[in-house]
Structure 1
Amino acid sequence: MSAVTASRGLLYGADYNPEQWPPAVWREDVALMRQAGVNLATVGVFSWAMLEPAPGEWDFGWLDDVLALLTDNGIGVDLATPTASPPPWLGHRWPDALTVNRDGVRMSNGSRNHFCPTSERYRERSRAVVAELVNRYASHPGVVMWHVGNEFGQVCHCDSCAVAFRSWLRARYGDLAGLNQAWGTSFWSQRYSEWAEVVPPRAAPYLINPSQQLDFRRFASDALRELYLEQRRIIAEQAPHVPVTTNFMGFFPHVDYHSWAEEIDVIADDSYPDPADPQAPMDTALTHDLMRSLSDGRGWMLMEQAAGAVNWRDHNVPKTPQRMRLDSLQAIARGSDGSCFFQWRASTFGAERFHSALLPHAGADTEVFRGVCRHGADLARLKEVAGSRSHASVALLFDWSSWWAAEEDAMPSRRLRVLDQLRSWYRPLWRAGVLVDVRSAGDDLFGYPVVLAPQLYLVDDEALAGLRDYVRQGGHLVLGPFSAVADSRGHLRPGRFPVGLTEVIGGSGEEWLPLPDGIRTGLLSERLGDGEARTWGERLRAEGADVMASFTGGPLDGLPAVLDHRFGAGRACYLGTVPAPAQLERLLDMVLTGAGVAADRERPPVDVEVVRRGEALFVINHGWDERGISVPHPVRDLLTDTVHSATVPIPAQDARVLIEESR
């Protein structure tokens, strides 16, 4: 990534689909790209049927012309392997290459993402088209990045996937005895006596084994990763020095991005916040923090976003050009070295004909395109930001396996949702301008003064030991409800909960109690203020911990709800409920202050997001009223080259990128 941004600065561009247009339009496109400041185009994502109109018949002439045109005009190419959407001939000739849902229905073509990840015929044809692409363009001077597939997320339950699932299970557990133990098959007479009996979770009359479900989710993610790696290896053989990426989708439920991250040279994400949702800026910031954390310093980029409206919501409210700009700058503030869009020119046909683009149907003489050009100038002014890093003092824990396991069927409550908990804990940090890394419980956490685990339902023994050592050696841990409940197999840990951490929190629990509707359960606390317990309660007892809050009313009346405990050189808090937002905010603020994290920080004004990246301070006003922030030294706004002293005004729906003027 650094090699690409060193010459181009921040990357700015879009998916480009020239196959939808005659060659005369291509020349107009490139001229307008240069006018807008575009320096990167993702090409070929959905071009398989154009490149290979019939099996083994190739047509690269049009792509040669497109790449030459872009390269001659200084626009880099992120060249995609077109394997996300096979041509109709593949499924027509080989129906077993099509995906099958859990009800046994085989999908058809006519859309996209209709392939089976384990189909050998699909993989054979994928390897062929990738090999042809790489043979032709590995040394092309305009190709600055390779893009494998698109939005990997397919899950298939066919017989081919059943065979592959069994192989995956053999590698994980060794034999049937290991599998039977891991899945607890003595329950409901599910013991397997031969591998052929093991199938993916399919339609069944009642609840399916949760350990089977969990492992199939892991397998499905790994099967897609192997598709990615298979194509990456072909690219690396001939273009070893060109970075390879694929586009993630934020907190996507079907792929464990933690397990993919080390295989991606440039972490890339597709982000489509709803401009009608007042919580969207906060939710988007959390997702950007996830991507920056997955990158771990290698750089990430926003690969797709909308310039205006999308086409897939029930009511598609468009972004204004101002909102488009703020969404893009928010990603740059949180570590992205690129701001790209779907797509360059709006399609006049197909399923996404109402999806916005940098160049809308009405053409260049539009407010949208004028905004696109203005933002291209913004990003050119921010060239020095490319490659700079952010440093977070807080780790927010999130694991895909724990998410999957916590939201299986037959749980104590469907209302205790993992992402809801994650966002509610993140919200006060975002509002306070505290930068957060999103980490896995098994990561090395010792560099963070504070670790927050809103809900860590599933955690393995090694991660538990790491959390104990983290607190013992001086860390500050805050652990949310329904945590340390299950092991890596999804089996419940016997004993008082949170099992393995009771000594750390100075207390323990014996029963989970989803709270009844219609009965108010309060939370009494001198330190946090009084509030209300919501959704969830736990029957706890303090065993050396201070009781920060207690339940009042309802089935837990008088019992501890929040515990605070010194352990070794560190401190741990445990929440046995979902507190009111104001109480949670006070608790987190107390922990941050106690850990010395931004204790002297000035809270940003309402609707204003403040993020430091390297030497640049990004200040983004998401609201509709002018705000201001105070600065101790004169600062210069990189976007306007204006110098400010004492107070920096931030107009509504606007941003500042500030550096100390002494530089």
Structure 2
Amino acid sequence: MTAAAGWPRIDGLVYGGDYNPEQWPRETWDEDMALMREAGVTLVSVGIFSWAMLETSEGEFDFGWMDDLLDLLHANGIAADLGTPSVSPPAWFFHRYPQARVVDKDGTVMGFGSRGMASHASPEYREAIVRVATALAERYADHPAVVMWHVHNEYGVPVAEDFSPRAVASWQAWLQRRYGALDALNAAWGTAFWGQRYAEWEHVVAPAATPSIANPAMKLDWARFTDDQLRECFRLERDAIRAHASQPVTTNFMAHQSWNTDLWKWAQEVDVVADDHYLWSPDPDAHVGLALSADLTRSVAGGKPWMLMEHSTSAVNWQGRNTAKRPGEMRRNALTHLGRGADAIMFFQWRASRSGAEKFHSAMLPHAGPRSRVFREVVELGGHLKDLAEVQGSETVADVAMLYDWESLWAQDLEWRPSDDVQFRERMRAFYERLWRDNVTVDFAHPEHDLSRYRMVVAPASYLLTEAAAANLTRYVESGGTLVVNFFSGIVDEHDAVHAGGFLAPLRDALGVTVEEFLPLREGETATVAWGDDGPVVGSDVWQEDVQVHGAEVLATNASGPGAGMPAVTRHAHGSGAGWYVATRLGVDALGTVFSGAYRDAGIVLDGAPETLEVVTRRGPDADFVVAANHGDEEARLPVAGVDLLTGDGSDDGFTVPGGGVAVVRVARASEGTGA
């Protein structure tokens, strides 16, 4: 297949990683080129942390080494994703402009010597990033190696919030644009509470350190403002590049692993969506979190192919216990991303650094060198991606959508909520894992998106739900959809104000219930839920509610706990569809009973594959590509007919996927044969 519009001009699936040759003597570069060719590398990201070497003093540029690097890459058939180095301004910048440093909420000024140190509100910083982006674009817009531009690096990591005087002034201007008049701001923030009413714009403070908690509506707007500040800086650099260059422009997101950026908005600003993902070592099922992040990235990309800009060949360096990947695990991780829509598989980084904070981070070429197991697996993966070139451009299709709203995350995770144990990410992971175990492929969607094409919509954590979103969900159920809503949803509006009519009021028609009172459990306390008169009894914890029924059918009841005898799970027929409500915290296993009923309503039939065999399908114009990754130790059966593109073997009755193995099977359309 051909590459999508806006995709870097590279044939086949993209393979490579971050390359930082400025850390190495010139003779090492030639060795790198030979080893990259051996591994099948087609794209490297360069220059991301090179500001000090490119602009040696203000307005003085040294491009000699970058000229040599790009020429060398082109001569070796390797393309460049050219970075702008705005994530790490040089020492001379902070010496000249100390006022551009970030100030945290306690008033501490962040010093030089790390990354992400500059205030995004600083006019000096903004002028400097436009200058360096412009200089790079003017020089390299027509260089044959440059196929893509990479602005900044992981916006919001490690610093997003800034409480410097410049940021506070920008905040006040942002609020004036948003609300127009102080009366509107005071109403939105509910400043009559605790006597917080503002009479002058310059009196509006930022939510820095306060004796008690700051106004939650203000903190929610502060999160929006912070996100907007970051995105403004991205647009400045992007537009400076576009004034001279025509290649696609991107930046690297961190879907579900960073919370400062609303990726629904960010995805509208880039030419191609790119994401970084790293396994979380304490999680024994970290591959489930990988799948979640991949599905979320594909979703913000509008279902189109996306780039895995960074992941690791083995261990990372920044977690408390950085576990190494076992043989074959990197291959499974990479091909799982591929199955969930990634047409580029890239790593941080090509060659492991000898110095600096990330010297213990794994790399494509580790400290152990090219004879290492990791490098052999890197070469093997490069060969696989060549064999899988025909997968490029195909799209992953899902029948189920899970609602994901960064503004709801920001609001729910503020202080003084009914229970510290109720967390956005925990419920998102639990509901996703239930679907993952059932081999149900998931798209993510904003609550106000068009949901009509999905058989089932799941809302694990919709604490903040606008009236427009609630109306959208109600129409979805009326039109025949199956909606599953978790507790502590539909509570507040976009200003973190409780909805008129009380908890869950906006979804009363769709769900047939409202909530009179929250009944959180004490720390460590557990309870049980009974399904009907003779159904299973399952465990629950953390949360129960005093649910008021308005036409819904009670399917399960709290058998113990503060809500004993009250509804735990309900189903409401509304229009042509059904709305399910879960009023207590159920674990992944117990959620299976809820979802089995919802699947029946939605007409979803499970494939019966073992839980260890992750199966996802990409659809091309002429064939489907079934990617099956076995995360267990025992072999598993994949009952599809076709050709395994990794081995070339064909079968009319299915394939056996060994423990730890992967199969990528081309499945012909019904009107075609199954030949290779």
Q: TM-score surpassing 0.5?
A: yes
Structure 1 residue 325, shift from structure 2 partner: 0.9
- Alignment match of 1:543 (pick from 544, 547, 550): 550
- Give distance in 2, aligned partners of 1:274 and 1:210: 30
The aligned amino acid for 2:169 is: V
Mapped contact 1:605–1:629 kept (Cα < 8 A): no
- Give distance in 2, aligned partners of 1:328 and 1:31: 23
- Give distance in 2, aligned partners of 1:519 and 1:47: 53
Q: Does 1:583 align with 2:590?
A: yes
- Give distance in 1, aligned partners of 2:524 and 2:84: 55
What are structure 1's unaligned runs of at least 5 residues? none
The corresponding residue for 1:2 is 4
Matching of residues 252-267 of structure 1 within 5 Å:
252-267=258-273
SS at match of 1:566: strand
- Alignment match of 1:300 (pick from 299, 306, 311): 306
- Give distance in 1, aligned partners of 2:236 and 2:37: 35
- Give distance in 2, aligned partners of 1:140 and 1:117: 30
- Give distance in 1, aligned partners of 2:186 and 2:90: 41
Query: For each residue in 1:559-617, what CA deviation from the matched residue of structure 2 results, as whole angstroms up to 9, or x when unmatched?
Result: 112110111111101111112433311211221222112x1x32222311001011100
Choose 460-469 or 99-108, whichever is displaced more: 460-469
The corresponding residue for 1:196 is 202
Query: For each residue in 1:261-318, what CA deviation from the matched residue of structure 2 results, as whole angstroms up to 9, or x when unmatched?
Result: 1111111111110356322011110110000000013421110011111111222211
- Give distance in 1, aligned partners of 2:379 and 2:193: 63
Q: Does 1:139 align with 2:146?
A: no
- Give distance in 2, aligned partners of 1:367 and 1:125: 43
SS at match of 1:201: coil
The corresponding residue for 1:624 is 633
- Alignment match of 1:417 (pick from 417, 423, 433): 423
Q: Does 1:571 align with 2:578?
A: yes
- Alignment match of 2:366 (pick from 347, 355, 360): 360
Structure 1 residue 645, shift from structure 2 partner: 3.8
Q: Does 1:127 align with 2:126?
A: no
The aligned amino acid for 1:248 is: F
Mapped contact 1:301–1:336 kept (Cα < 8 A): yes
Q: Does 1:604 align with 2:609?
A: yes
Query: For each residue in 1:20-67, what CA deviation from the matched residue of structure 2 results, as whole angstroms up to 9, or x when unmatched?
Result: 112111111111101100000000000000001111111000000000
Mapped contact 2:8–2:147 kept (Cα < 8 A): no
Q: Does 1:491 align with 2:497?
A: yes
Matching of residues 38-49 of structure 1 within 5 Å:
38-49=41-52
- Give distance in 1, aligned partners of 2:614 and 2:406: 28
- Give distance in 1, aligned partners of 2:496 and 2:513: 24
Q: Does 1:428 align with 2:434?
A: yes
Query: 1:275–1:194: structure 2 CA closer, same or farther, 3 Å change rule?
Result: closer
Structure 1 residue 250, shift from structure 2 partner: 1.7
Choose 584-593 or 480-489, whichever is displaced more: 584-593
Q: Does 1:86 align with 2:86?
A: no
- Give distance in 1, aligned partners of 2:74 and 2:4: 19
The aligned amino acid for 1:245 is: T
- Give distance in 2, aligned partners of 1:519 and 1:270: 37
The aligned amino acid for 1:543 is: H
The corresponding residue for 1:250 is 255
Query: 1:558–1:276: structure 2 CA closer, same or farther, 3 Å change rule?
Result: closer
Mapped contact 2:42–2:78 kept (Cα < 8 A): yes
- Give distance in 2, aligned partners of 1:55 and 1:5: 32
- Give distance in 2, aligned partners of 1:76 and 1:10: 13
Choose 293-302 or 210-219, whichever is displaced more: 293-302
Q: Does 1:209 align with 2:215?
A: yes
Query: For each residue in 1:43-97, what CA deviation from the matched residue of structure 2 results, as whole angstroms up to 9, or x when unmatched?
Result: 0000000001111111000000000111111111100001000001111111111
The aligned amino acid for 1:604 is: A
- Give distance in 2, aligned partners of 1:423 and 1:314: 21
The aligned amino acid for 1:174 is: G
Query: 1:565–1:55: structure 2 CA closer, same or farther, 3 Å change rule?
Result: same
Structure 1 residue 2, shift from structure 2 partner: 2.3
> Share of identical aligned residues, percent?
43
Choose 514-523 or 61-70, whichever is displaced more: 514-523
The corresponding residue for 2:337 is 331
Q: Does 1:638 align with 2:633?
A: no
Matching of residues 450-529 of structure 1 within 5 Å:
450-517=456-523, 520-526=526-532, 529=536
SS at match of 2:212: coil
SS at match of 2:163: coil
- Give distance in 1, aligned partners of 2:527 and 2:34: 64
The corresponding residue for 1:437 is 443
Matching of residues 138-157 of structure 1 within 5 Å:
138-153=141-156, 154-157=160-163
Query: For each residue in 1:208-245, what CA deviation from the matched residue of structure 2 results, as whole angstroms up to 9, or x when unmatched?
Result: 100010000000001000100111111112223x1111
Mapped contact 1:293–1:438 kept (Cα < 8 A): yes
Mapped contact 1:431–1:604 kept (Cα < 8 A): no
Q: Does 1:107 align with 2:123?
A: no
The aligned amino acid for 1:353 is: K
The aligned amino acid for 1:627 is: A
Mapped contact 1:333–1:613 kept (Cα < 8 A): yes
Query: For each residue in 1:527-578, what CA deviation from the matched residue of structure 2 results, as whole angstroms up to 9, or x when unmatched?
Result: 8621123110110122211101111223222111211011111110111111
Mapped contact 1:12–1:340 kept (Cα < 8 A): yes
The aligned amino acid for 1:167 is: A
SS at match of 2:57: coil
- Give distance in 1, aligned partners of 2:162 and 2:608: 48
Structure 1 residue 518, shift from structure 2 partner: 6.7
| Superposed structure 1 runs of 4+ greater than 4 Å apart | 3-7, 517-520
- Give distance in 2, aligned partners of 1:131 and 1:554: 63
Query: For each residue in 1:149-198, what CA deviation from the matched residue of structure 2 results, as whole angstroms up to 9, or x when unmatched?
Result: 00010221111011111111111111111111111111111111111111
- Alignment match of 2:191 (pick from 185, 188, 204): 185
Matching of residues 245-394 of structure 1 within 5 Å:
245-251=250-256, 252-274=258-280, 277-394=283-400
SS at match of 1:35: helix
Mapped contact 1:308–1:321 kept (Cα < 8 A): no
What are structure 2's unaligned runs of at least 5 residues? 668-673
Choose 105-114 or 276-285, whichever is displaced more: 276-285
The corresponding residue for 2:670 is none
Mapped contact 2:544–2:562 kept (Cα < 8 A): no
The aligned amino acid for 1:164 is: S
SS at match of 2:616: strand
Mapped contact 1:321–1:372 kept (Cα < 8 A): no
Structure 1 residue 472, shift from structure 2 partner: 0.9
The aligned amino acid for 1:351 is: A
The corresponding residue for 2:671 is none
TM-score (normalised: structure 2)? 0.95
- Give distance in 1, aligned partners of 2:238 and 2:168: 25
TM-score (normalised: structure 1)? 0.97
The aligned amino acid for 2:632 is: G
- Give distance in 2, aligned partners of 1:321 and 1:141: 37
Query: 1:532–1:325: structure 2 CA closer, same or farther, 3 Å change rule?
Result: same
The aligned amino acid for 2:225 is: F
- Give distance in 2, aligned partners of 1:300 and 1:259: 16
Mapped contact 2:8–2:148 kept (Cα < 8 A): no
- Give distance in 1, aligned partners of 2:145 and 2:535: 58
The aligned amino acid for 2:571 is: D
Choose 405-414 or 637-646, whichever is displaced more: 637-646
